[in-house]
Structure 1
């Protein structure tokens, strides 16, 4: 086994997969769909090959791979999203796409990293940057720029919050860590690979992470669908959970990927 720690491995893998994607993005493709497909496939294969080399005994759950149910009895499972934010990746000049690499061990996320390749930045579970102080003014909610969930729009209207549109789930989660938003609230449907690495990094930085009803986020489940998510500054958790209490029941059953 490679002697690097799991934290360092997650960071190195996410960063290097990001380099692969930057190379793909610099190529010539006939249309955005071909670029998206090449990015997904190239990053996925890179991560599978490197994990097979560095952590040969571990299972892998990837958005782009076939789900092997052997992971359900494994002690260690890498949960990866080779390219989070394919729409943004395919649009020239956009930086709001990411690579997610997380490790689940015996019921818990224990390591992870989110690479923001177009910004030359990787945030991981080792020494994440301190969360900046909150700026004065309305709450800022990171939200999908293309399909903001009605739940978040309702929450913003009820709380006087501002919506801050941006691309991938990882970018939105890291926006909270970076002080660019106060919370990331999602109720439109996601999968484990959308949030595992962002949640691992957010927790390491001291942010609150939970389902919208305050219950724990659980990973490496038989069905990887994980419909909703709250990542926020810890001092805002109670306020947001209280506000969400009257909104969540009617909003979190849809199975739309976001």
Structure 2
């Protein structure tokens, strides 16, 4: 398997354990804990089998500092949107599997890794898959998804169901857009890819595993991805915290970023 095929296989392996658990006797926190653990085992087993020399940064495993010197790091969220997964009747949760690769240094040949963001001197995301188990879908960086045409009507901004940030409200007001509350961060990014929303604006922080795979898929699909100030999203940083995020149709990027800056 190449790296994208492995990412997709890992996302499907997680789905294969998450869906039966969701249909079983567990509920609430017990279901969420069981799902997190089972999906982590499924993804970790495939990565260990097929890429034993690669480092891994996962929400459900201890952060091994060896990743900071590694050339290849898998960034994984085996169950993104545990609250929605536990709800039973929601589909807006996901499985994230992304590969970060170090960019060759001066004199080593090939320049930036595919999809690399300007300004990131270390490396960037080169392969990814996002599974949507409740919809029986896996979206990957290759082949990249085709973003459907935007439907008629007001623009739509995806936001957190539980705590929509004020900057997202400001962006929606500036665009004359409707807010679309959704669950997991990964699903909100893919809502833009799937044309269920036109932008996703987040502030208040998340972790690198919350967005690495969906951002890679969004980039491959031709969408704009950045921090709220327009700077690049940097992955495999020493601190896994990522303060904010914008994903949108490229033709909206200037307006979204301008509104975000005014709010800031």
Give me the TM-score of the superposition, normalised by structure 2. Answer: 0.90
> Where do 5+ consecutive residues of structure 1 fail to align?
249-258
- Give the superposition deviation at 1:50: 1.4
Alignment partners' CA distance in 1, 2:151 and 2:254: 19
* Paired residues of 2:76 and 2:209 also in contact (CA < 8 A): yes
**Selected match of 1:170 from 163, 180, 186:** 186
| Alignment equivalent of 1:198, drawn from 214, 217, 233 | 214
**Cα distance in 2, alignment partners of residues 129 and 49 from structure 1:** 27
| Aligned match for 1:207, one of 206, 223, 234 | 223
The corresponding residue for 1:41 is 37
Match of 1:14 in 2: 11
1:34-183 equivalent positions in 2, closer than 5 A: 34-106=30-102, 107-183=123-199
Q: Distance in 2 between matches of 1:121 and 1:51?
A: 20
Q: 2:89 and 2:218 mapped to 1: Cα distance?
A: 26
Tell me the alpha carbon deviations over residues 215-257 of structure 1, each in whole angstroms, 9 at most, x when there is no partner: 0000001100001011111111111111111123xxxxxxxxx
Structure 2 distance, partners of 1:175, 1:136, is 16
Instruction: Indicate the residue corresponding to 1:227 in structure 2.
Output: 243
Superposition deviation, residue 5 in structure 1:
0.7
Residue 107 of structure 2 is matched in structure 1 by none
What is the deviation of 1:157? 2.7
TM-score, normalization by structure 1 = 0.92
8 A Cα contact 2:170 2:259, kept in partner: no
The aligned counterpart of 1:5 is: 2
Alpha-carbon RMSD across the aligned residues, in angstroms, is: 1.0
Equivalent position of 1:28 in the other structure:
25
Structure 2: runs of 5+ lacking an equivalent: 103-122
